[in-house]
Amino acid sequence: MTHAIEVALGLITEDLVAGGVPLPRIEPSTWQDWEPSESVMLFGADGSGTGVWLDLGLSQAHGLAHLADQVQDWAVEELARLGRPTNWPVCAAHPTNHPLRTLVEDGRAVWACPAGGTAPLPIGEVSSGEKRPSDR
Ligand SMILES: [Zn+2]
């Protein structure tokens, strides 16, 4: 069964698109035998595969944040392989210092500046909340 992880990956994919990250090819997989969980493989442009998983024992928000964290690790490696800057999602306040980090805040999974420099963006809504540094 991979329904829940597909829904969660759909949200995270929105943020990959917003950040201009090439999308992985996603294949269902049962590599993760933790119960209850769902897992898939992400395949990059060079065909290398990375397993990511959704822990169904967590709340929806914590599960989504945990999954987004793994997709972020994948994206960083994929961008590095492509010779591109690896700071995804870009922190609007500190675009050259660090990427945003996943966090659960008020029951929502968000991307947040680790230094508290910008308002957290709900995972899946990076594009709608995107601000240029001059807009702050
Ligand atoms: Zn920041």
pLDDT tens readout for residues 77-116 = 999 999 999 999 999 999 999 999 999 999 999 999 999 9
Cβ < 5 A residues, ion ligand 1? 91, 93-94, 113, 115, 117
Scanning the structure block, which residue is given the tokens 């961008």?
A: 79
pLDDT at 127: 85
Q: In what order do the strands lie in the sheet with 49-55?
A: 25-29, 37-43, 49-55
Number of domains in the chain: 1
CA-CA distance, 21 to 6, in Å (whole number)?
18
The identity of residue 78, as a single letter, is E
Q: Which tokens belong to 43? A: 């395949």
pLDDT at 52: 98
Residue 135 has pLDDT above 50, yes or no: no
The 8-class DSSP code of residue 41 comes to E
* Structural domain harbouring 45: 1-136
Sign of CA dihedral 90, 93, 96, 102: negative
State the distance from the centre of ligand 1 to the C-alpha of 6, rounded, in angstroms: 29
pTM: 0.91
Mean pLDDT, residues 131-135 taken together: 48
State the distance from the centre of ligand 1 to the C-alpha of 63, rounded, in angstroms: 23
What end-to-end distance do the CA atoms of the chain give, in Å? 43
Averaged pLDDT score across all residues of the chain: 92
State the distance from the centre of ligand 1 to the C-alpha of 98, rounded, in angstroms: 6
